[in-house]
Amino acid sequence: MAASHLFEEFRTRGEGHPDTKDKWYIVAATSMAAAGAGPDVAELYQTAIKGTTSAEAKHIQRRLKEAILKTSILFGIPKSLQALLPLFSTLKEDEIDHYGPRTEALRKGETDAERRERGRRYFDILWTSGAAQANREKNFKYQPDLYLLNLETIYESWLSEDTILSPVETQMCTTAALICSGSPQQAMWHTRGIIRHGGNLDMARFAQDLALKVGNAYGCSVGSIVKVDDIDFDDATPH
């Protein structure tokens, strides 16, 4: 499905406000990858870099690739490859942005303790500290390896890494990815995370609206999504 008109609409809306400028394409890309529309991400990238310099294009490429990689833990590695590999095939040698923050951090000696603290802090903010601890204990009680995968691997190594995408931008992307992967309850949790990590309702609405448009365009089931204005952002009930 070609959706250049949709991408132009996203760009116009996103670039028109400081809160969503430079964010529209990462939200769109994660929505599309989750929706199984990964091959169209290459066209989205071309829309995003239209009229930019080489340096600006690499900046966009870095953020777009990071957004897809980060959210692949939610919708699956195969779908991320459906988005990334077609994009890679369009890049000339001198157009490739060759940077990986986690690889670089390991090279510079980042410790397990540093990653653990960063992941703990991120999860505490997402849930509030009391609910976060209750979720940790529940996961460990029922399946210790779920705790290892969810709390340690996912949050410590992936979601909390903020060199390229800020926590708010990450939450906008996880919200969009969960909407388009048929996970309405988890999408609501992560929409709260946009606000709790320092974003605002306009950012939350923007992420949700783009994801819903992508979902509808590519045939996803998005009818059960709780709209931003109906979410209780003070609810700190554990999962």
pLDDT at 69: 98
pLDDT at 2: 52
pLDDT at 152: 84
Per-residue pLDDT of the chain (239 residues; tens, 9 = 90+): 457 899 999 999 999 999 999 999 999 999 999 999 999 999 999 999 999 999 999 999 999 999 999 999 999 999 999 999 999 999 999 999 999 999 999 999 999 999 999 999 999 999 999 999 999 999 999 999 999 998 888 999 999 999 999 999 999 999 999 999 999 999 999 999 999 999 999 999 999 999 999 999 999 999 899 999 999 999 999 98
pLDDT at 145: 97
Domain boundaries, the chain: 3-99+167-230, 111-163
Q: How far apart are CA 171 and CA 179, in angstroms?
A: 12
pLDDT at 1: 46
pLDDT at 151: 85
Q: Where are the alpha helices (DSSP H) in 76-166?
A: 77-89, 101-107, 112-127, 129-142, 144-147
Specify burial of residue 67 (Cβ count, 10 A radius: 0-12, 13-18, 19+): buried
Quote the tokens at residue 165.
Answer: 């995408």
User: pTM of the predicted model, to two decimals?
Assistant: 0.96
Topology given in CATH for the domain delimited by 3-99+167-230: AhpD-like (1.20.1290)
> In this structure, are residues 167 and 122 in contact, taking their beta carbons and an 8 Å threshold?
yes
First to last CA, the chain: 37
